[in-house]
């Protein structure tokens, strides 16, 4: 997948000297909207992400039109009517976490982290905090997090005719498997 993402590449270049740099090009972000009228579930498996374990830097970038839905019509409406993916083609997160001291040993385990940073969706950037886990197993790194976003916070308009079918608060799940960045 070819993407020019200035913030993502900047973070990679700034942290390239670190021996604790991990990245993925096929991370997973999914979201779920639950209402009495209808549930909407979508997944994107082409998430770019980089993590620097030593510095505690973390960045994600995802193309909006890469989300896949069960129904093609939902996907079309999502891209054209709500997310305006031609006008706002990507969502990004640039943030930091405080690496637990034991994480530096790269010993197998699951490490709880708090992540803070700037989440940009639909052209709107908001400060965001989320809990997550960093998992080290066999020299590989994984990250997991679940959090909620409110669509009005990102100026996503939902026409009144379908307002009962789309939740005001959306559940977001991030699940990425990383490999050490080659120098």
Q: Give the domain ranges of the chain.
A: 6-12+21-180
SS (H, E, C) 109-157: EEEEEEEEEEEEECCEEEEEEEEEEEEEECCEEEEEEEEEEEHHHHCCC
Give tens-digit pLDDT for 80-127.
989 999 999 999 999 999 877 777 778 899 999 999 999 999 999 999
Kindly calculate the radius of gyration of the chain based on its CA atoms and give it in whole angstroms: 17
Cβ-contact 103, 129 below 8 angstroms:
no
Fold of 6-12+21-180: Lipocalin (2.40.128)
CA 34 to chain centre: 20
pLDDT digits (tens, 9 = 90+) for 128-162: 999 999 999 988 899 999 999 999 999 999 888 88
pTM of the model: 0.86
């Amino acid at each position: 997948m070819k993407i020019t993402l200035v913030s993502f590449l900047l973070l990679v270049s700034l942290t390239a000297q670190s021996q604790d740099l991990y990245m993925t090009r096929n991370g997973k972000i999914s979201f779920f909207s639950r209402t009495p009228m209808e549930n909407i579930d979508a997944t994107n498996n082409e998430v770019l992400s980089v993590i620097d374990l030593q510095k505690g830097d973390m960045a994600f970038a995802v193309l909006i039109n890469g989300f896949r839905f069960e129904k093609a019509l939902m996907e079309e409406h999502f891209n054209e009517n709500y997310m305006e993916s031609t006008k706002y083609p990507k969502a990004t997160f640039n943030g930091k976490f405080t690496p637990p001291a034991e994480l530096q040993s790269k010993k197998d385990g699951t490490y709880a982290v708090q992540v803070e940073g700037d989440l940009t969706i639909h052209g709107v950037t908001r400060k965001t905090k989320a809990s997550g886990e960093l998992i080290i197993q066999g020299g590989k790194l994984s990250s997991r997090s679940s959090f909620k976003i409110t669509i009005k916070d990102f100026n996503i308009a939902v026409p009144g005719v379908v307002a009962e079918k789309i939740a005001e608060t959306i559940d977001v799940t991030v699940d990425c498997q990383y490999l050490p960045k080659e120098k």
